[in-house]
Amino acid sequence: MNDSTLTRALRALAAADRIGSDQAHTPRERLSACISLPRLREGLVREDWTPAEQSHLAECARCQASRDKLGGMLWHPEWWQLSFDVQGLLVDEDAADVTFHLRDDRCRRCLARYARLEAQFGRGGPPERLALPDYRPTRLSAENTGALFARVPASDDRLDARLFEHERRLHLAIITKAPELEGRIVGYALHSPANGRTIAGCLALRPEASWQTAEVVLDPDEVYRQLEGECVPAVTLLEPDQITDETLTHLAKMLGDGDEGARAAAREAVRRLAETAAGTPMGTRLTDLLASTQAAED
Q: 87: closest CA among 49, 126, 114?
A: 126
* 126-131 contacts, C-beta under 8 A, 24 or more apart: 126/87, 126/88, 127/87, 127/89, 127/153, 127/232, 128/232, 129/193, 129/230, 129/231, 129/232, 130/163, 130/230, 130/231, 130/232, 130/233, 131/229, 131/230
For residues 252 and 46, give the distance between their C-alpha atoms in angstroms, rounded to a whole number. Answer: 29
Residue 109 gets which letter from DSSP? H
pTM: 0.81
**Does residue 172 sit in helix, strand or coil?**
strand
Phi-psi region of 228 (alpha: psi -120 to 50; beta: other; left: phi over 0): left
6-63 pLDDT tens trace: 545 555 555 555 544 444 344 444 456 899 999 999 999 999 999 999 999 999 999 9
- Please work out, in degrees rounded to the nearest 5, the angle formed at the alpha carbon of residue 235 by the alpha carbons of 241 and 249: 55
Tens digits of per-residue pLDDT, 55-114? 999 999 999 999 989 988 889 999 999 999 999 999 888 999 999 999 999 999 999 999
pLDDT at 295: 82
- Pair 78, 244: CB distance under 8 Å: yes
Cα distance between residue 266 and residue 254, in whole Å: 6
Confidence of residue 119 (pLDDT cuts 50, 70, 90): confident
Q: Residue 195's pLDDT band (boundaries 50, 70, 90)?
A: very high
152: burial class by Cβ within 10 Å (0-12, 13-18, 19+)? buried
**Mean of the per-residue pLDDT values for the chain?**
86
**Mean pLDDT calculated for residue range 171-191:** 95
**Which pLDDT score, from 0 to 100, does residue 29 have?**
47
